[in-house]
């Protein structure tokens, strides 16, 4: 279904932008809101109503219990922005990729669940644990490669310092 892919990609792009915000912790709150909105919109497409409380529980359970290293990476990517001078640059490099990859992985897990005829009532985060890990790593690698490819022309054009 093209509409579900559009919703997932749109929210991943918004997540990437949120990851670039220079405000530690606020970016994590905004990312959670974007991911919740995304799964609610996906649910609406499949005529399945997802409440905020159920959606938040599913998201936090899936991410926190399945990929602790990604949560640590995401939290670190957000909090490192608070370090004077270098923090903003390091956070700008790490957190947007984490945010986008996490959103893409989450959206695709929900898409697959609904395509198999599932509903929010029978959604079991543990069932999708390894799928989420694999999807997150794949999306993270793709986002990192795309970011590096986009930065390469700018690096070539920059004047050499003497």
Q: In the chain, how long is the greatest CA-to-CA distance?
A: 63
CB 44 within 8 A of CB 1: no
- pLDDT score of 122: 93
- pLDDT score of 11: 97
- pLDDT score of 151: 63
CB 38 within 8 A of CB 7: yes
CB 91 within 8 A of CB 78: yes
- pLDDT score of 12: 96
- pLDDT score of 22: 76
Domain ranges of the chain: 2-149
Average pLDDT by stretches of 10, the chain with 162 residues = 94 92 81 95 96 89 59 50 53 76 92 95 86 83 74 60 52
- pLDDT score of 108: 94
- pLDDT score of 79: 52
Q: Tokens at residue 54, please?
A: 């159920």
- pLDDT score of 82: 55
Integer Cα distance of 49 and 112 in angstroms:
17
């Amino acid at each position: 279904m093209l509409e579900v892919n559009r919703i997932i990609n749109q929210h991943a792009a918004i997540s990437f932008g949120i990851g670039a915000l220079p405000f530690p912790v606020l970016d994590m709150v905004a990312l959670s809101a974007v991911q919740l909105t995304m799964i609610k919109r996906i649910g609406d497409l499949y005529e399945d109503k997802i409440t905020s409380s159920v959606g938040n529980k599913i998201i936090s359970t899936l991410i926190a219990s399945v990929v602790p290293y990604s949560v640590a990476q995401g939290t670190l990517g957000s909090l490192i922005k608070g370090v004077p001078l270098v923090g903003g640059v390091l956070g700008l490099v790490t957190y947007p990729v984490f945010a986008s990859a996490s959103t893409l992985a989450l959206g695709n897990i929900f898409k697959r669940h609904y395509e198999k005829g599932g509903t929010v009532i029978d959604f079991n985060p543990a069932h999708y644990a390894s799928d989420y890990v694999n999807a997150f790593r794949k999306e993270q690698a793709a986002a990192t490669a795309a970011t590096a490819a986009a930065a390469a022309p700018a690096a070539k054009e920059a004047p050499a310092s003497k």
